[in-house]
A and B are shown apart, each in its own frame.
Chain A
Amino acid sequence: SAVISQKPSRDICQRGTSLTIQCQVDSQVTMMFWYRQQPGQSLTLIATANQGSEATYESGFVIDKFPISRPNLTFSTLTVSNMSPEDSSIYLCSVLRASYEQYFGPGTRLTVT
């Protein structure tokens, strides 16, 4: 498995501001992912964070809104920019281990007012 931490665990932010979420893993991993989960909904993949190159975004998500950094094999950040109430959600990072097993961090609960 993997030990994954996320900061902050929750935040309340004002419309128009930005929040950067950090994800730290206890060992090196090749692939890290960022998901969003809105209340009562399933997981939606935002992007794959690639070490040493730009993130790969899923349809409907763009770099200007969700810039991602991946400076090394144990750390990544996701920024939610110019926030609106529709961005209120739980943001989760995950890592890919052997045999395609994915492990999730504890999540960041974001509320935009």
Chain B
Amino acid sequence: QKEVEQNSGPLSVPEGAIASLNCTYSDRGSQSFFWYRQYSGKSPELIMSIYSNGDKEDGRFTAQLNKASQYVSLLIRDSQPSDSATYLCAVNSPDDKIIFGKGTRLHILP
């Protein structure tokens, strides 16, 4: 059973600080990794994709991938109250499907 694991949280971070979200996955064959943001009552929104080891930066967001450790993380710099949401880690499976983690609730404290 292929799995994606995340800490459910809530993770509380002061405004302006760095929020660090972590995810592990079980399938060593996975090649594509994603972070989605989901506001309460809304559908998931793709915010980051990463396909190779290392860091990928997009604005205040940095995704980090370590395939040897089967570990993906998302860093949010200068956290804002508008970043408060549930963040879903997702990993591709060989049949073109995406396996989602259960999500981490992030709460940015004003």
Contact = CB atoms under 8 A, between A and B. Distances in A.
A104 interface: yes
A89 B59 CA distance: 34
Interface residues of B, number: 20
A100 B97 CA distance: 8
A42 B9 CA distance: 14
Contacts of B45: 104
Given A92-B43, A100-B32, A105-B43, A42 B101 contact: yes
Contacts, number: 45
B28 to A, nearest CB: 17
Interface of A: 1, 31, 33, 41-43, 45, 48, 90, 92, 96, 99-107
Interface of B: 31-32, 34, 42-46, 49, 51, 88, 90, 92, 96-98, 100-103
